[in-house]
């Protein structure tokens, strides 16, 4: 099929409320009737499939695009454009996001007690986090819809990503971040890419509250993860993962949980893949939170998922320092539908898992490491069996929070915190920098002692 024939077969996307099913206008975020979140659906798929193509033809088309010279095909998001809302190619803002590696983690596998462990490293995106895959779609939609301003509240990665895509697309951007509670590298990215960056004297949840009112008053397009176009872009990580696995689903996919959009996106992708005949069974999707930022864990354990229990969030994994997650209902549906689990992990468990992933020569930021820490618990509980294949979704690059890593290796990450005593177990993983005289003998001596 030619590209123009594919274009004319494109199925039209609709926004629909996840609660009452009411169809909404294309640039809304919540249902007018019940205020629940919206999701994108593709009514045409039932009869004709995406762009009128079947699963086998789409698999081939997407593979062929990997060697295309067209910039839009080179994006690991837009090469899957048949399963995304339609955006005209001239409006697409791409920094060649997606196409991220799938790594094996043999040492982490051993430490967790499984044989087959992989990491889908979304930190290998252009701004260093998974946010780019959603941002390319939502920022492109904003430009196509004629918005001049975009905005987000963020724990640092969304803001870095939004600032970059806005700059590339000629849009102005406004960032609201919690004062003092995000990593310096993330803050520096948003400044460098030219966003108006405001540090509010509150936490992430407070930033969201302020921004929600700002967008009511001003013609500013909201790029937080309640934005359904971001969820669509983030779906492509799962399509790409399955392509990398020759469309054979793993047994488990483990995702960090913050505002809970990414787990929702990956779940939506898998649901669609099954519906469209790409795969015949669903992997179990499990969500891991930090103990200090565990609203979903508490909600499921304490009231069976009836009503969200917000918490006052606190964790050194600042990316997921979120107490009132917007997409909790979507994530809950994914966990239930796939038979996944929720688990929480301590600060020390996160630090250990992060060091273990780093020692594989891969690395990630602390929020991503909750996946390995959570896996260890799920194996101990018997939920994950040693012979099952597991994929961890690593969401952010190691350089996103170099401060955390340095403090860890110098041994002062937990100094003066309630976790100090417990953190003694981290000693064997710490490698603090050695200060030596500038002499050959001193270095040779050191190498000899290291060999023994």
Sites of contact with ligand F0G (CB under 6 A): 129, 131, 154-158, 225, 256-262, 319-320, 365, 367-368, 395-396
Task: Give the span between the Cα atoms of 34 and 36, in whole angstroms.
Answer: 6
Nearer to ligand F0G, 250 or 396 (CB): 396
Nearer to ligand F0G, 237 or 379 (CB): 237
* Token duo for residue 400: 């996103």
User: Who contacts 256 (Cβ-Cβ below 8 Å, separation ≥6)?
Assistant: 262, 287, 288, 289, 317, 319, 320, 367, 368, 370, 371, 393, 395
Q: What angle do CA 243, 400, 130 make, to 5 degrees?
A: 25
Q: Which residue is nearest to ligand F0G (CB)?
A: 258
Shortest separation between residue 354's beta carbon and ligand F0G, angstroms: 12
Q: How many residues are there in the chain?
A: 452
Are 224 and 294 in contact by the 8 Å Cβ rule? The answer is no
* Token duo for residue 72: 């839009």
* Token duo for residue 394: 């690593």
Rounded to an integer, what is the distance from CA 47 to the centroid of its chain? 32
DSSP-assigned letters across all residues of 167-183: HHHT-EEEEEEETT-S-
Nearer to ligand F0G, 85 or 134 (CB): 134
Shortest separation between residue 330's beta carbon and ligand F0G, angstroms: 10
Nearer to ligand F0G, 6 or 162 (CB): 162
Shortest separation between residue 442's beta carbon and ligand F0G, angstroms: 40
Shortest separation between residue 233's beta carbon and ligand F0G, angstroms: 12
Shortest separation between residue 444's beta carbon and ligand F0G, angstroms: 41
Nearer to ligand F0G, 92 or 398 (CB): 398
Nearer to ligand F0G, 79 or 230 (CB): 230
Nearer to ligand F0G, 59 or 209 (CB): 209
Shortest separation between residue 52's beta carbon and ligand F0G, angstroms: 32
Shortest separation between residue 285's beta carbon and ligand F0G, angstroms: 12
Identify any residues that bridge with 407 across adjacent strands, giving them in sequence order: none
- 395-407 in b/e form (b: 16+ CB < 10 A) is bbbbebbeebbeb
Question: Tokens 């540090």 sit at which residue?
Answer: 199
User: Who contacts 163 (Cβ-Cβ below 8 Å, separation ≥6)?
Assistant: 173, 175, 189, 190, 192, 193, 194, 195, 197
Shortest separation between residue 400's beta carbon and ligand F0G, angstroms: 7
Task: Give the span between the Cα atoms of 87 and 198, in whole angstroms.
Answer: 31
DSSP-assigned letters across all residues of 52-102: G--HHHHHHHHHHHTT---HHHHSTTGGGGGGS----GGG---S------E
Q: What angle do CA 26, 211, 309 make, to 5 degrees?
A: 95
Shortest separation between residue 369's beta carbon and ligand F0G, angstroms: 10
Nearer to ligand F0G, 41 or 231 (CB): 231
Shortest separation between residue 301's beta carbon and ligand F0G, angstroms: 18
Nearer to ligand F0G, 58 or 317 (CB): 317
Q: What angle do CA 339, 345, 347 make, to 5 degrees?
A: 160
Nearer to ligand F0G, 55 or 191 (CB): 191
Nearer to ligand F0G, 259 or 324 (CB): 259
Shortest separation between residue 34's beta carbon and ligand F0G, angstroms: 22
Task: Give the span between the Cα atoms of 272 and 251, in whole angstroms.
Answer: 17
Nearer to ligand F0G, 79 or 397 (CB): 397
Shortest separation between residue 30's beta carbon and ligand F0G, angstroms: 17
Are 49 and 273 in contact by the 8 Å Cβ rule? The answer is no
Are 158 and 131 in contact by the 8 Å Cβ rule? The answer is yes
């Amino acid at each position: 099929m030619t590209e123009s024939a594919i274009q004319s077969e494109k199925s039209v996307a609709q926004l629909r409320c996840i609660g009452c099913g009411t169809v909404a206008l294309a640039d809304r975020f919540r249902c007018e009737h019940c205020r629940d979140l919206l999701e994108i659906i593709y009514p045409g798929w039932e009869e004709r499939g995406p762009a009128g193509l079947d699963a086998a033809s789409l698999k081939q088309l997407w593979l062929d695009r990997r060697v295309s010279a067209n910039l839009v095909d080179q994006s690991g998001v837009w090469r899957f454009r048949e399963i995304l809302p339609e955006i005209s190619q001239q409006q697409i803002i791409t920094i060649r996001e997606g196409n991220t590696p799938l790594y094996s983690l043999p040492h982490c596998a051993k430490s967790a007690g499984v044989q087959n462990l992989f990491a889908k490293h979304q930190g290998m995106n252009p701004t260093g986090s998974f946010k780019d895959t959603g941002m390319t779609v939502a920022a492109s939609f904003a430009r196509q819809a004629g918005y001049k301003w975009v905005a987000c509240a963020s724990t640092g990665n969304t803001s870095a990503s939004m600032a970059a895509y806005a700059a590339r697309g000629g849009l102005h951007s406004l960032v609201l971040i919690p004062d003092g509670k995000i990593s310096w590298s993330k803050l520096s990215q948003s400044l460098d890419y030219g966003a108006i960056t405001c540090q509010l004297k509150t936490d992430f949840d407070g930033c969201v509250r302020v921004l929600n009112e700002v967008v009511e008053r001003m013609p500013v397009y909201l790029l937080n993860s309640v934005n359904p176009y971001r969820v669509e872009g983030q779906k492509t990580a799962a399509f790409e993962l399955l392509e990398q696995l020759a469309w054979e689903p793993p047994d488990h996919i483990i995702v960090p949980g913050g505002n809970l959009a990414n787990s929702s996106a990956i779940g939506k992708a898998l649901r669609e893949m099954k519906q469209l005949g790409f795969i015949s069974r669903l992997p179990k999707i499990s969500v891991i939170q930090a103990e200090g930022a565990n609203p979903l864990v508490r909600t499921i354990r304490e009231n069976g998922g009836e009503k969200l229990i917000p918490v006052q969030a606190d964790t050194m994994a600042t990316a997921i320092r979120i107490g009132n997650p917007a997409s909790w209902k979507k994530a809950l549906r994914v966990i239930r539908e796939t038979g996944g689990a929720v688990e929480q992990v301590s600060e020390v468990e996160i630090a250990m898992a992060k060091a273990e992933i780093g020692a594989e020569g891969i690395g990630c930021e602390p929020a991503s490491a909750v996946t390995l820490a959570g896996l260890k618990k799920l194996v101990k509980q018997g939920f994950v069996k040693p012979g099952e294949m597991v994929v961890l979704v690593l969401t952010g690059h190691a350089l996103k929070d170099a401060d955390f890593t340095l403090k860890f290796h110098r041994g002062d990450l937990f100094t003066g915190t309630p976790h100090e005593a417990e953190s003694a177990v981290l000693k064997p993983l710490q490698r603090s920098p050695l200060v030596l005289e500038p002499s050959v003998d001193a270095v040779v001596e050191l190498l000899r002692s290291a060999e023994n």
